[in-house]
Amino acid sequence: MILNVLGWRLVWFHARCSRYLDLQSYRITTAMAKNFKTKGALVIEPKGRVFNSETIAADVSIKGQFHGKLTAERSLTVYSGADIKGSLTVARLIIPPDNYFRYQPCLNVRSAEIAGELVANARIAGTLWLKASARMFGDVEAEALVMEPGAVAVGTMRIGMKIKE
């Protein structure tokens, strides 16, 4: 295995099978229509817009707009200014304190950590953590629930469900 730097792009090249793995992290501050596939992070800033994209990244943080198909292999952190349209495949959804996220289709995630406000129906294959500052509005099916004192949940909760990913 050889580590190459090609221009500004950091890749991991596997000599035997001639494949490379993009390790670069990306910070988006303008509008673009581009596909990403990286084991690094993708950060979409408040003025950043990604349209018609098929994106796979390890860690994704969205403060701006994303329209397309998104796969977050480790985590997706969503801030209040985020506008997300399209399909989501997420290992761990994170809503930080004092932030909100509204999503119309049902969310299908492996786990979720909510410290802000989430308005969505959700199917969670693992654990839903509702921090003390969390507000959850919607119906939830989850394998496990951890709810700190002070957290608010409005909707039907079905806990102990085996959810297929």
Each residue of 53-109: pLDDT tens digit?
999 999 999 999 999 999 999 999 999 999 999 999 999 999 999 999 999 889 999
Please state, rounded to an integer, the average pLDDT across all residues of the chain.
88
Tokens of 95: 């809503």
* pLDDT confidence tier of residue 122, bands split at 50, 70 and 90: very high
How far is CA 60 from its chain centroid?
A: 6
As beta bridge partners, residue 26 has 42
pLDDT tens string 18-63: 445 677 888 999 999 988 888 889 999 999 999 999 999 999 999 9
Inter-residue contact 16 to 3 (CB < 8 Å): no
> What secondary structure does DSSP assign to 36-71, as a single string?
EE-SSEEEE-TT-EEEEEEEEEEEEEESSEEEEEEE
Inter-residue contact 71 to 53 (CB < 8 Å): no
First to last CA, the chain: 32
The pLDDT of residue 8 is 40
- Quick one: which of 13, 11, 10, 44 has its CA closest to 30? 44
The pLDDT of residue 11 is 46
Going from N- to C-terminal start, the domains of the chain cover 24-94, 96-165
- Quick one: which of 37, 113, 94, 91 has its CA closest to 68? 37
Q: What is the DSSP-derived secondary structure letter of residue 75?
A: E
Length of the chain counted residue by residue: 165
pLDDT of 5 above 80: no
